Amino acid sequence: RKEVEQDPGPFNVPEGATVAFNCTYSNSASQSFFWYRQDCRKEPKLLMSVYSSGNEDGRFTAQLNRASQYISLLIRDSKLSDSATYLCVVTTGGRSSASKIIFGSGTRLSIRP
């Protein structure tokens, strides 16, 4: 089983729709969680950090469920410009020598007019 798993998609939704995807992680000791966005042939860019209490940034909402070991990303009122691959990132260990950072394989999202 992969340490971080994402549905590869593609998710193909109309403009204005709400879309959500999850990312599951296997290590219960995982500490930090992030969503990154990667456009085709570009570098990943931080979309948002994911906090235990959940957080919202405009049309984007991220949630963490430690009990079930997954994080989620909800995009409301989707725009054409939201078309991208969304990468889930999980870290463990803080600054210790055993710390790790693991990227999921990404979920492809395509918004159609």
Q: Which is nearer to another protein, 17 or 42 (CB)?
A: 42
Beta bridge partners of 11: 109
Helix (H) or strand (E) holding 23: strand 19-25
Binding mask 44-83 for another protein (x = CB under 8 A): xxx--x----------------------------------
Of 3, 1, 20, residue with least CA distance to 86: 20
11 binds another protein (CB under 8 A): no
87 binds another protein (CB under 8 A): yes
Compute the least distance from the CB of residue 99 to another protein, in Å. Answer: 5
Q: Which is nearer to another protein, 56 or 77 (CB)?
A: 56
* Whole-angstrom distance, CA of residue 91 vs CA of residue 7: 19
